[in-house]
Amino acid sequence: MNALKILREAGFSELAYHFAAYIGRQQQTEDPLVTLTAGLLSETISEGHVCLNLNDFQSLNPLVQQVLPDISLWLQSLKQTEVVGQPGEFKPLILTADGLLYLYRYWQSEQQVAQAIKQRLNDSDMLPAADTLTTFMTDWQNSLPDTDWQKVAVLSALRRQLCVISGGPGTGKTTVVLKILQCLQLNEDKPRIALAAPTGKAAARLQQAISQHTGEQYVAKTLHRLLGISARFDQGRYSAERPLPVDVLIVDEASMIDINLMAITLKALPLHARLILLGDSDQLASVESGAVLANLCADEPSFSTEFSAWTKQVSEIDLPATSFVNPLQDSLVKLQHSYRFAAGGVVGQLALAVNQGEAEKVTDLLLNQTPSALAAPTTEHIQTQLLSGYQQFIEAIEQRKDAVSCIQAFEAFRMLCAVKQGTQSVYSVNQMMSQLLAKRGWRTAQPFYPGRPIMITQNHYRQNLYNGDVGVVLPNIDGELQACFLFGGELRWLPLSRLPAHETVFAMTVHKSQGSEFDHIALLLPDEDSAVLSRELVYTALTRARQTVQILSTQTVLKQAVQRRHQRESGLAQLLHGAKSA
């Protein structure tokens, strides 16, 4: 068997090919099956998995399946080579008893995350006085007929050393953060609080929301900046010996945290510190390997008798103790009431149907809209959506309205794409829109022209601009073209020569849209099925919309996407099931 030839013929990446070749050279036995397996593992990690599940034979490339032996012989070959070790050994590849194959670094990160989480499944000793907390909960008025999960989330965050809060858009995660901060300030000993998010845009949005509602000047940072991660310090500047000087760390948009970043974060926290993670576990996972939030939220929440009794004491909430025990008992809360999507609203119905994998219901809901909210991804339909979606923006630019009006008009709509390159992609849509505007007399052939929307693609701390920030090129008061951004109702103008790396953004990927909201969105899917199309991608796109959605896709491709759940291979959930709440 020529392992490298098979990898070439199967269309594996250059990285997978060369990693396989490297592992092949490290073997004394030169077993081609080990070389082939190394290529499989590299390709699997590039797809976002933490490990390769040798038992999941059917998910492997068909060409590779044809040459693989029986699982027992496969495992035997791997165990006999010196490049594969057992858990605890320092070898390039680690094979567990369950048939999960890891790169050493990912195995180590997963073990560190599991161990650190288990250490935090305890009650915290930093609690406001019971009477003070009862008064706070009484004053927090909420008219929900059922269990107020926002209050339960706040109480869990206050009582537990680890708290994971998951909820879809509009379920009140920001309100929960605000209430947690207010409660923490009720302590006699004021804790040191750090706010963070995986991306600069998410961190800026969190900081803005808190300052708008409280007037307090909290600073939210990216996790990389908080931890001191850089090219020189790829593991950050903090460790168990030199921990972060914080008592509480609140991390928003936790679905974007990969396994390695989570390991670095937990390693940097002092043992006494409280960690609060918030996000939407149903959204797309991180770009890098792992789906930590989804792993933590894999089971339904469970609550102990002690926690339920305490919740009743301080909030009058009847929270029944559960018979089953989640590894994160009392530490996991799922927000269930959407304050954004009205009951019976089509966006909320679509999001629910997608999450449940009900492909027929999804297409029926779209087709029953007037006009239909589902159309084929033809050039004509794409152009129609672009011109109608951006009509107010086009008019604002052509009528030379003020900068605030122009930016607000642009932010009302967005075309979201599953892929960045290709015939139905971010690149093709941006090209198409530029051509349509050129026909209206816009100077789109120029590098910068009035009305060109741009998205920052690299964090630039000196300019206070972050990856994902969106602005519009507009003439300033002197008629000079500059990049204009709208943050918290305030305009910020920047000379074009000082712009960080950026790109045109009439369209953006669904991944890039995470954390953003628009009144209207159009989702463009390729006309052929692809492994990148998944339930999580469609759900994430739909829940960016406040009011309406339009999907440009064939019914077949959309149904296949809704039915495909992209579950990343990982051993984290299994490791956590060995943990018990204290």
Q: Tens digit of pLDDT for each residue in 346-361?
A: 998 999 999 999 999 9
Range of the domain at 505: 346-563
In a domain, residue 212? The reply is yes
Q: What does the DSSP assignment read for 310-370?
A: HHHHHH----PPPSS--TTTTTEEE----SSSPTT-HHHHHHHHHHTT-HHHHHHHHHTSS
Domain CATH for 14: 1.10.10.1020
In a domain, residue 458? The reply is yes
The residue out of 317, 340, 363 marking a domain boundary is: 340
Query: Do 424 and 357 lie in a common domain?
Result: yes
Query: Do 449 and 497 lie in a common domain?
Result: yes
Sheet holding 502-504, edge to edge: 490-495, 481-487, 470-475, 453-456, 502-504
Query: Do 377 and 301 lie in a common domain?
Result: no
Report the Cα 288 to chain-centroid distance in Å: 10
Report the Cα 390 to chain-centroid distance in Å: 27
Distances (CA, A) of 466 to 330, 358, 485, 505, 512: 35, 37, 12, 15, 12
CA dihedral 81, 87, 88, 94 (to 10 degrees): 50
Mean pLDDT of the region 55-66: 85
Higher pLDDT, 465 or 556: 556
The pLDDT score that the predictor gives to residue 193 is 94
| 169 marked as binding residue | yes
Residues in the chain: 582
Query: Do 386 and 282 lie in a common domain?
Result: no
Band (578; pLDDT cuts 50, 70, 90): low
Band (579; pLDDT cuts 50, 70, 90): very low
Query: Do 431 and 416 lie in a common domain?
Result: yes
Q: Where are the alpha helices (DSSP H) in 27-86?
A: 32-46, 62-65, 71-80
**Terminal-residue alpha carbon distance, the chain:** 53
In a domain, residue 568? The reply is no
The pLDDT score that the predictor gives to residue 582 is 34
The pLDDT score that the predictor gives to residue 216 is 76
567 DSSP 8-state letter: P
Q: For residues 457-495, b (16+ Cβ closer than 10 Å) or e, as one string?
A: eebbeebebbbbbbbbbbeeeeeebbbbbbeeeeebebe
The pLDDT score that the predictor gives to residue 144 is 75
In a domain, residue 114? The reply is no
The pLDDT score that the predictor gives to residue 320 is 80
| 201 marked as binding residue | no
Report the Cα 548 to chain-centroid distance in Å: 22
Report the Cα 267 to chain-centroid distance in Å: 21
The residue out of 77, 103, 129 marking a domain boundary is: 103
**What region, left, alpha or beta, does residue 11 occupy, with left being phi > 0 and alpha being psi -120 to 50 degrees?**
left
| Cβ-contact 289, 264 below 8 angstroms | no
Domain CATH for 432: 3.40.50.300
User: Is 60 a residue whose pLDDT tops 90?
Assistant: no
Query: Do 40 and 128 lie in a common domain?
Result: no
Q: Which of helix, strand or coil describes residue 412?
A: coil
In a domain, residue 570? The reply is no
Query: Do 13 and 138 lie in a common domain?
Result: no
Percentage of the chain exceeding pLDDT 70? 98
| 171 marked as binding residue | yes
| Cβ-contact 424, 524 below 8 angstroms | yes
The pLDDT score that the predictor gives to residue 244 is 96
Mean pLDDT of the region 199-222: 84
Band (343; pLDDT cuts 50, 70, 90): low
| 200 marked as binding residue | no
The pLDDT score that the predictor gives to residue 460 is 84
In a domain, residue 115? The reply is no
The residue out of 340, 362, 384 marking a domain boundary is: 340
| 168 marked as binding residue | yes
User: Is 29 a residue whose pLDDT tops 80?
Assistant: no
Q: Tens digit of pLDDT for each residue in 236-283?
A: 999 989 999 999 999 999 999 999 999 999 999 999 999 999 999 999
User: Is 426 a residue whose pLDDT tops 80?
Assistant: yes
Which tokens in the block code for residue 426?
A: 């971010």
Band (581; pLDDT cuts 50, 70, 90): very low
In a domain, residue 571? The reply is no
Which tokens in the block code for residue 537?
A: 């991608």
The pLDDT score that the predictor gives to residue 230 is 82
Work out the mean pLDDT of the chain and round it to a whole number: 91
Query: Do 275 and 333 lie in a common domain?
Result: yes
Report d(CA 533, CA 296) in Å as an integer: 23
Mean pLDDT of the region 317-341: 86
| Cβ-contact 170, 341 below 8 angstroms | yes
Q: Tens digit of pLDDT for each residue in 80-110?
A: 999 999 999 999 999 999 999 999 999 999 9
| 173 marked as binding residue | yes
98 DSSP 8-state letter: T
Sign, CA dihedral 419-263-196-118, equals: positive
The pLDDT score that the predictor gives to residue 342 is 61
Listed residue (435, 433, 437, 415) closest to 525, CA to CA? 415
Query: Do 97 and 135 lie in a common domain?
Result: no
Query: Do 209 and 264 lie in a common domain?
Result: yes
Query: Do 267 and 177 lie in a common domain?
Result: yes
Higher pLDDT, 56 or 84: 84
The pLDDT score that the predictor gives to residue 455 is 95
The residue to which tokens 């999804």 are assigned = 362
Q: Tens digit of pLDDT for each residue in 120-160?
A: 999 887 788 888 899 999 899 877 778 899 999 999 999 99
Report d(CA 107, CA 28) in Å as an integer: 24
Query: Do 305 and 398 lie in a common domain?
Result: no
Number of domains forming the structure of the chain: 3
Of the CA atoms within 13 Å of residue 57, those in its CB half-sphere come to 11
In a domain, residue 578? The reply is no
Report d(CA 134, CA 224) in Å as an integer: 37
